[in-house]
Amino acid sequence: MFYNISNHPSADWSKEQTEAAGGKIVDVPFPAVDPKWSSSDVRMQAMALYYSLPKGGDNTYLVQGEFSFTYALTSMLVDAGFNVVVATSKREAIETKIDDGTTKKFSVFNFVQFRQLRHP
């Protein structure tokens, strides 16, 4: 099972990313992290999510979102020996000239791979 713990539903992923996840993908909404929370609050919320996740088998956990929460949850999963990954992408900047002479720039992110996280 591949658990997508992010704000990016797998229904919106590219074909390449979906295939790289392999098998069944379960979307787990990334929690809204209050910027006023203390480090302890973040850790407690990460722990609550950690204990709610199914464990065992060949599960893989993609964890991407607010950095302190991602770090806390990822650390718990990696410390327990679970397979944790992040999605990597290549950023492509696209510039468009507008009629008024200005330039509009936006970025397109193309999925490259899932990178496994491990302790050094």
- What pLDDT digit, counting tens, does each position of 6-38 carry? 999 999 999 999 999 998 999 999 999 999 999
Q: Please check the confidence at residue 2 and state whether its pLDDT lies above 70.
A: yes
Query: And the tokens for 78?
Result: 């990696």
Structural domains of the chain, count: 1
Domain coverage including residue 31: 2-117
Block residue for tokens 């900047």: 93
**77 membership: H or E segment, kind and range:** helix 67-79
**88 membership: H or E segment, kind and range:** strand 83-97
- What pLDDT digit, counting tens, does each position of 50-97 carry? 999 998 788 999 999 999 999 999 999 999 999 999 999 998 988 889
What is the model's pLDDT at position 120?
A: 62
Contact 64, 5 (CB under 8 A): yes
Block residue for tokens 């893989």: 60
* Separation of alpha carbons 51 and 32, rounded Å: 18
Provide the mean pLDDT of the chain: 93
